[in-house]
Amino acid sequence: MTSRMRTEIGEQPEALRATFEALLPRVSELRALAERTRQVLFIARGSSDNAAMYGRYLIEARAGRLCAMGAPSIATTYRAKLDLNGVLAVAISQSGRTEEIVESLHWAADCGARTVAVTNGAGSPLAEAADVALVTRAGDELAVPATKTYTTQLAALAVLGVGLGANVDVGEIARVPEEAEKLVAGAGADLDAIVERLATVQGAVVSGRGMAFSTALELALKLKEACYLHAMGLSYADLLHGPIAVVDDDTPAILVAGDTGPTLAGTVALARRVTGAGASAYGIGGGAELPAACTLALPGPDLPEWLAPIGLIVPGQLLTEALARRLGIDPDAPRGLGKVTQTD
Amino acid sequence: MTSRMRTEIGEQPEALRATFEALLPRVSELRALAERTRQVLFIARGSSDNAAMYGRYLIEARAGRLCAMGAPSIATTYRAKLDLNGVLAVAISQSGRTEEIVESLHWAADCGARTVAVTNGAGSPLAEAADVALVTRAGDELAVPATKTYTTQLAALAVLGVGLGANVDVGEIARVPEEAEKLVAGAGADLDAIVERLATVQGAVVSGRGMAFSTALELALKLKEACYLHAMGLSYADLLHGPIAVVDDDTPAILVAGDTGPTLAGTVALARRVTGAGASAYGIGGGAELPAACTLALPGPDLPEWLAPIGLIVPGQLLTEALARRLGIDPDAPRGLGKVTQTD
């Protein structure tokens, strides 16, 4: 039987096409809203927070604005009053109904911020609360692990980056859905072998840098929530500051990179270091160079670095779904989780 | 034989006393530097980045300034130009010689920021590069896992918080060294039992919220680097957005909280949820309430929430050192690590 998660992975090309079509015309609206703001504050949790990490690198690296990853507890638990004049607050929530996120966006506005919502929930409290709501067109998502709602959040954040003046070629967006189509068809010849190997270990390090760091965090979350794997998501550099000690025979590294970009060389070097120490490295993306340095590898999208994360997570989603089934877990309903998480 | 790490853990009360004595007189200098700045940007890696997380919560919750945790790759890999006018950049490095951090602080200044260094390296390139250098008085640290250089970084950041006008009682600082003395004497009756249990598992979730989140991240890093444990550091709320699925019979939760403060109740509730599901929760700190909700627990410091993280990590350091020895690892020199990490 096909899992709901696998079906929803396959719906991503169409969801991305619909989302870009709906949101690209709103670039000028975003540009107007962002006038007289200088920084960006992201407010999100879980997969949405991983999407925010993509937005953060895109906007800092290409649009020259400082981004902060907000801590919702500052708003909802400490109830602190921050000076947010000149700040564009961007809240991201699949449902648009996570109270903590809705409350944090109201708080940001009270502190002086202009506000954007990114949500799949048209008419949700989050969409209603924001100055500008970017509603993704993922359709209903029923499996607990987010897939198409995550990649369409990335699409919305790519549009936000364009609205904030990112130095990118907007025309490249048109190729995203067709690249996603190639990726959802299957993760390549090494998938089964990686699944078999991960089925025998307790943990893994998942690493990437810069724009691809978001993919590493999201894949680590997926592997934790759907496969109960001790997956530790770390940036390439943070990994070298201590946690590299944890990589060994029983703890492989999964390394993610775009086909191009300034972080590829470091990721390839990390793969060589891991395999040189006798441990396994499994690559995702990274053109021809990363697979050559890895034990096994899954191809990524043929997209420029700034759009690559939208495709890079797809092989990771397929890996997660296959590993969950291999372990006898229903990927659609892992233990302990509901579709909308409420935290205070 | 006593490990060097254990000796250095014991040196913390004196190191904290000396650091506060040296840095508290510099509050007015910090205040002057911070005039006409509105946000704070932290630049750090590894344990220093965990210290930054403490500074971030302290300054947002008590001093009303937005804080961003910087991504050094934006400076050193992407070489992006950000608008950092009105930003106070705070770079933290034990040695003051990690090139990536030194380069990132120069970059921040070039982008318009005012700059502070927090380092144990008097005369180091980082100290020389900053407008104001807060040099900690930890003395030489030889064990690879940072202990006294970490807690004295927290002390320096508490002083920075005071300089930025945090709403705190500065007089409470005087009790920190004596509370540290009580903690370094030993971690309490449950330590051996927790060590034995952690010696039989592959992974653990380490969680805390708000000010204590920094302690959770730092303990997770220690357990990864010195015990090769799959330790996943997560905030209380992020844990509930997916990774809670990973907690089971073989994956306990280690939960950290101050004796008081608005995040204690949520941490206690999380402990009840974990033990209610049949898994183990080990508490650190949290007054009388957290131990009552946990399987086993280590007492924390009798300090107000804003200073508690300086003491809360100490039982975690003792746990790490004892677990490493129990596993036959030399805690002073874990595999794959040197004392100064260079990343690009």
What is the reported pLDDT for A178?
97
CB < 8 Å to B242, chain A = 46-47, 145, 221, 224-225, 337, 341
Confidence of residue A290 (pLDDT cuts 50, 70, 90): very high
Question: For residue A280, is pLDDT > 70?
Answer: yes
Position B42, amino acid: F
Is residue B50 domain-resident? Answer: yes
**Domain shared by B242 and B322, yes or no:** yes
**Domain shared by B97 and B227, yes or no:** no
pLDDT in tens, B169-200: 999 999 999 999 999 999 999 999 999 999 99
What is the reported pLDDT for B104?
97
What is the reported pLDDT for B343?
63
Q: Are B319 and B218 in contact (CB under 8 A)?
A: no
**Domain shared by B196 and B287, yes or no:** yes
Is residue B341 domain-resident? Answer: no
**Domain shared by B10 and B74, yes or no:** yes
Question: For residue A95, is pLDDT > 60?
Answer: yes
Judged by DSSP in three states, B161 sits in helix
Number of domains in chain A: 2
A-interface mutation test, from B40, B42, B60, B147, most A Cβ less than 10 A away: B60
Q: Are A217 and A233 in contact (CB under 8 A)?
A: yes
Question: For residue A244, is pLDDT > 90?
Answer: no
> What DSSP assignment string belongs to B30-68?
HHHHHTT--EEEEE--HHHHHHHHHHHHHHHHHH---EE
| B241·A61 Cβ contact <8 A | no
**Domain shared by B131 and B10, yes or no:** yes
Token pair for A43: 């407010």
Of B136, B251, B144, whose CA–CA distance to B203 is shortest? Answer: B251
Is residue B178 domain-resident? Answer: no
Is residue A57 domain-resident? Answer: yes
How far does B342 lie from chain A, in Å, by closest CA? 8
Lowest mean pLDDT among A238-247, A273-282, B272-281: A238-247
Question: For residue B238, is pLDDT > 80?
Answer: no
Count how many pairs of residues, chain A against chain B, have C-beta atoms within 8 Å. Answer: 206
**Domain shared by B233 and B150, yes or no:** no
Is residue B332 domain-resident? Answer: no
**Domain shared by A202 and A151, yes or no:** no
Structural domain boundaries enclosing A193:
187-326
Is residue B343 domain-resident? Answer: no
**Domain shared by A204 and A309, yes or no:** yes
Interface pTM, i.e. ipTM = 0.94
DSSP H or E run through B119 = strand B114-119
pTM of the prediction? 0.95
Is residue A118 domain-resident? Answer: yes
DSSP H or E run through B153 = helix B148-163
**Domain shared by A34 and A120, yes or no:** yes
**Domain shared by B256 and B141, yes or no:** no
What is the reported pLDDT for B342?
65
Is residue A30 domain-resident? Answer: yes
pLDDT in tens, B44-59: 999 999 999 999 999 9
Question: For residue A21, is pLDDT > 90?
Answer: yes
Q: Work out the end-to-end distance of chain B between its first and last CA atoms, rounded to an integer number of angstroms.
A: 37
Confidence of residue A341 (pLDDT cuts 50, 70, 90): low
Q: At A22, which CATH number?
A: 3.40.50.10490
**Domain shared by B28 and B126, yes or no:** yes
| A232·B244 Cβ contact <8 A | no
**Domain shared by A201 and A52, yes or no:** no
How far does B131 lie from chain A, in Å, by closest CA? 21
